[in-house]
Each structure stands twice: as structure tokens, then as C-alpha cells.
Amino acid sequence: MAFAFENVRLHVKATGVSVSVPDYPKAKLMYYLSCVCNALQLDSSDTMSISALKDYQNYYRLTEEEKKLLVFCVMLSPDVLLNKVFFQNDRMCGDSSNEFYDIGTVVSQLVVSNSIVIGGQRKNIHKIMTFKMSWLRNHYLEPIQALARELDEAEESRRRRAIAAARRSNNECAMM
């Protein structure tokens, strides 16, 4: 079921808080994931515990496996959430690059669904987030590209080491 708001005039209270995100692609993606989880109220009670993936202040503590799990961000990409959970609206962001609103306080020509299907599971939308394009570029588009490059380079490095090890193994002679 969708709710339609057309020029509704309400006094709204933004619910977002200012945060400082470290200037590293992993930290930015973790912050993006934190925003998604905030809007959909995803937490550790869900199938996969994602609390470590949302801890953007401690991005450097991620294990190699957890880094791979950041691919989860692709599943929760802006394409999936745009105009359902995330809305580009500079005016509603004010001086911030993004802002959260409780679902009951949304104003001005927005159509909001009460749920979304992600990964085959229906999730209720508890909040929406408005954003400026600079926020999307800074916290999703550029970091996801950087992470993809990093994972590709790591895989290429592992492949080269495996080939070198195989060559060394083949060149060894058995002495009797």
C-alpha cells in the first residue's frame, strides 16, 4: 500500500543526526549501509548479523570476509531504494547532504510505500531519507567503485602468487 502526499503542509521534525564519516571508501560504504539499516530498521535480528558492517568508525577492523560482505551494499543499491526509501530532494536536506524523516512526517509530493522486498524478504519502511546527489556520489557510487577495484586487485594478486608457487613447485627436483 502506498501513501501519497500532495503539498501537505505540516511542521516536520527531521530525525537525522550529524556524523563524521572517515574519508575511506570502506567507511563510506559502511555509512551508506548504516543509513539503509536505519530507514528499514535492519539489525542483528535479521538473517545476517550486519552490526560490524555498519560500524563505519571502525572500518579498519573489518576482516577479509566482512569486506566481501560489503557487496551486500550492491543488493541494497540506490536503484532498489530510490523513490521508495531514499528520495533525492535538496530542499528537504537543508544544510546537510542527507536527512532522515519519520514515515508519518513526510511532506510535499512524495509517494511512500509502506514496505519493500529486498533479497526475497519484505521489509517495512519506518523512515525515509532524503539526499543530495553529492551524498550519493560520496557515500555510494565512488566507494563501491573503489572497493570493486580493491577486490579485483587482491584477487589478481592471489592469482599471481598461486601461479608463481605452482611454477616453483614444478621446477623443484627430487634428490635421491
The predicted-structure confidence for 65-118, as pLDDT tens digits, reads as follows 777 666 777 778 888 888 888 999 999 898 999 999 887 654 444 555 666 776
The verdict on residue 43 lying in a domain is: yes
Q: Pick the range with the lowest mean pLDDT from 71-75, 81-85, 145-149, 155-159.
A: 71-75
pLDDT at residue 8 tops 50: no
| pLDDT computed for residue 48 by the predictor | 52
Tell me if 9 is assigned to some domain.
yes
By percentage, how much of the chain surpasses pLDDT 70?
74
Q: Indicate the number of domains in the chain.
A: 1
Better-scored residue on pLDDT, 128 or 97: 97
Would residue 14 count as lying in a domain? yes
Position 73 in a domain: yes
pLDDT at 45: 54
pLDDT at 176: 54
160 in a structural domain: yes
User: Is residue 176 in a domain?
Assistant: no
Write down the pTM of the prediction: 0.71
Tell me the pLDDT tens digit for each residue of 21-45. 999 998 999 999 899 888 887 765 5
Three-state SS string over the chain comes to CEEECCCCCCCCCECCCCCCCCCCHHHHHHHHHHHHHHHHCCCCCCCCCCHHHHCHHHHHHCCHHHHHHCCHHHHCCHHHHECCCEEECHHHHCCCCEEEEEHHHCCCCCEEECEEEECCEEEECCEEEEECHHHHHHHHHHHHHHHHHHHHHHHHHHHHHHHHHHHHHHHCCCCC
